[in-house]
Structure 1
Amino acid sequence: MTSASERPILFLDVDGPLIPFGSSSSRLQAPVSGSPVPARGNPLLGRLDPGLGPRLMALGCHLMWASTWMEDANEAVAPRIGLTRLPVVEWPDSCADDSPRGLHWKTRHLVEWANRRPFIWVDDEISAMDRLWVDAQHPGPSLLHRVDPTQGLVDADFSALAGWLRALAPSRVPSTGD
């Protein structure tokens, strides 16, 4: 696992994992210094933690936005958390009606995007049905990591992600200090 094409993909949702829905009083943050972020916009952007970008990059994955924010994530979110422009998962115009009950509308499409490669999906809406379906349909390693949407990504989440990556390729993942 040395090239970007061989690294696991980390599909990243915005609402919930990066913008927590809990109390914002302790999470209000300024953008990373020097970032070209407009002063006005979505008031929830103040809940972004500028330390998340470097921590996500340190995982050594190929980061991709997997959010309905689409390209707006590159414009409004990435500079506030210290990320460069990321590739964006393009969602189909309509979601299939033949999905099993309880399967998230993103699940099938993310498995297609992964194209047999190892991947992590970080979202606040992952269910047991999504895990079962991915286990049955995706031939490569995968981690569907549900984030508590009231907290967003926290230390325990990063420990879980790094632990899975270490098990996948022990010599390639930096320690998180746990």
Structure 2
Amino acid sequence: MTGTDRPLLFLDVDGPLIPFGAPPPGGYPTYRSPYGSGTATGGNPLVARVDPALGPRLLSLPCEPVWATTWLADANHCVAPWLGLTQLPVVDWPVEEEDEPGGVHWKTRTLVAWAAGRPFAWVDDEITEADRRWVAAHSPARTLLHRVDPQRGLTKEDFTALDTWLRTT
């Protein structure tokens, strides 16, 4: 498969990569990145919560990763080097970030339009059944809307689910 044949992987940062919410006993772990300058976080201390081991796991997935986050280009400046990733495409969001009627997330319509008919998986901590219904009705391609527990971030089980779906597309 070429890059344009591969499914897209829309990736949020807060929740899937940076765990947040009520911390586990002892607090959230922090990491030191083995990539680039090691401890550089682009000035954002929350990046130290991102497990650098997620980078190789993301790269092993048969897809084209795309930042789908309010971090916008900052994801390429802070998070990508921390994970050992190259610069990724970034979804540019509409000015208004308000959920649509029926509980559809404000990102949903933009992601379907950005995919332009390509299969995609969307990893976020705010996905609901309303989003799944809307995407099923409006995307001509196969899709996977995968909700991640924001207190845990991406887990081995999440990667297994993504890899399985991506390899059957």
What's the TM-score once normalised by structure 2's chain length? 0.91
Mean CA deviation greater in 99-108 or 87-96? 87-96
On the 8 A contact 1:9/1:117 being kept in 2, the answer is yes
On the 8 A contact 1:13/1:67 being kept in 2, the answer is yes
Tell me, yes or no, if structure 1 residue 124 matches structure 2 residue 125: yes
What secondary structure does 2:101 align onto? coil
Aligned partners of 1:59, 1:47: CA distance in 2, in Å?
22
Amino acid at match of 2:107: K
Pairwise mapping of residues 139-178 of structure 1 onto structure 2 (< 5 A)? 139-168=140-169
Q: Deviations over 1:70-90 (max 9, x none)?
A: 000001111111111101001
**Change in 2 beyond 3 A, CA 1:167/1:70:** same
Q: Out of 34, 38, 41, which is 2:40 matched to? A: 38
Task: Measure how far apart 1:42 and its partner are.
Answer: 2.0
Amino acid at match of 2:18: I
What secondary structure does 1:101 align onto? helix
Q: Deviations over 1:27-71 (max 9, x none)?
A: 210022334763672221110100111101110211100000000
- Structural RMSD (CA): 1.9
On the 8 A contact 1:70/1:90 being kept in 2, the answer is yes
Q: Deviations over 1:97-144 (max 9, x none)?
A: 8x3221000000000001111000000000000000000110100000
Aligned partners of 1:61, 1:133: CA distance in 2, in Å?
23
**What are structure 2's unaligned runs of at least 5 residues?**
none
**Change in 2 beyond 3 A, CA 1:39/1:85:** closer
**What are structure 1's unaligned runs of at least 5 residues?**
169-178
What secondary structure does 1:10 align onto? strand
